[in-house]
Amino acid sequence: MHSNEDPLIQALIAKKLGLADAEDEARVREAGPQAGELLDQLDAVLAPLDSWSAPAPPPDLNQRIMSRIESVDKTISFEEAAAAMRPEVPARPRSGWNISIRDLVAAAACITLLVGLFMPGYRNARSVMERNACQANMRQLYAGMAGFAEDHQNRLPYAAAPGEANWLAPRQASGRPGANTRHMFVLLKEGYVPHPQVFICPARPDDVPMNPCDYTQLVNFPRRCNVSYSLQNMAGQYSVTMEVDPNMAVLGDANPLFDYSAVRSILGENLNQLNSYAHGRGAGQNVLYLSGRVIFAKAPTVGVAGDNIWQAGNLTDYTGAEVPQYLTDSFLVP
């Protein structure tokens, strides 16, 4: 049946059901003989409906409905109705820790494996970070030394020692006026280095910066732990200036020969292989040269012509009065 017949069919159905108005009925009549054919087909389709008769309702239907309503003597709350309409959800079985010893052992093995894989890398990364921060401190100290030298005829920082100085002052000595660190304190006292934190190596957790104060009232760092580094011993007849050999080491990590924080014995050790305890428990030390260059050395023999930066010449016994043996003899002491 074509789409142009749809309005005619709708009109015929409406007429058959008694729903057609005058215009619809006129449209059916104007359709011609085609309308009669369609009307016969429609009668055949609707014939079962014409033959069906709806059963009559019970005569007491109304009374039965009212009686049912009156028999309900309880008002149901909204919560109860909602609960009655809510579908029941089966309770979940309680789960327990059903882990066997075998599973625990496997988990422990995995954790151990992960720790073994990642911890060395973490330690190495932290060590490199601390080493780089230490080198940054040394570069700041060199900038302070260069500024001091510019104002003092190219000399390295120097502070005269009161009385009979001994650079190997006792650990508990308050103020340590004779210690070699008094020369570094000049950089802080005269403003060539901005903050006490610069004198602390981040790889030495027991060292702490001194509290900011009126530095002009002091002659040295109050405590030994306020300085992590060892400076060229400025005592003796040789006056080190910035014009001496640029390959001369003038600052380094703590000298292990006099480092009270290094809990180990150096008896019987080869002093040419003895490294500072600051980085990697003796893996090496940062060293600053007169040229401003900073390196990480894995042996102490990095001075001029392979000089051992921890020793005064070839001396092995020290009382605190030893001095460099020649002009380019690097002898880094606390």
pLDDT of residue 248: 97
Residue pair 141/187 in contact (Cβ under 8 Å)? The answer is yes
Q: Which long-range contacts (CB under 8 A, 24 or more apart) does 326-329 make?
A: 326/238, 327/238, 327/240, 327/244, 328/244, 328/245, 328/248, 328/303, 328/304, 329/238, 329/303
Stronger pLDDT, 163 or 306, i.e. the higher one = 306
pLDDT of residue 124: 79
68-102, pLDDT tens digit by residue?
Answer: 777 765 566 666 666 666 666 565 555 556 677 88
161 or 55, which is more confident:
55
Highest mean pLDDT of the ranges 52-61, 86-95, 185-194: 185-194
- Higher pLDDT among residues 299 and 235, named by residue: 299
SS3 per residue for the chain: CCHHHHHHHHHHHHHHCCCCCHHHHHHHHHCCHHHHHHHHHHHHHHHHHHHCCCCCCCCCHHHHHHHHHHHCCCCCCHHHHHHHHCCCCCCCCCCCCCCCHHHHHHHHHHHHHHHHHHHHHHHHHHHHHHHHHHHHHHHHHHHHHHHHHHHCCCECCCCCCCCCCCCCCCCCCCCCCCCCHHHHHHHHHCCCCCCHHHHCCCCCCCCCCCCCCCHHHCCCCCCHHHCCEEEECCCCCCCCECCCCCCCEEEEECCCCCCCCCCCCCCCCCHHHCCCCCECCCCEEEEEECCCCEEEECCCCCCHHHCCCCCCCCCCCCCCCCCCCCCCCCCEEC
Mean pLDDT, all residues of the chain: 81
Confidence of residue 265 (pLDDT cuts 50, 70, 90): low
- Domain definitions of the chain by residue range: 3-43, 117-333
Q: What pLDDT was estimated at residue 147? A: 96
Give the contacts of 244 (CB within 8 A, at least 6 positions apart): 290, 327, 328
Q: Is the pLDDT of residue 61 over 90?
A: no
Contacts of 302 (CB under 8 A, 6+ apart): 249, 287, 295, 309
User: 126-174: per-residue pLDDT in tens?
Assistant: 889 999 999 999 999 999 999 999 999 999 999 876 555 678 765 444 4
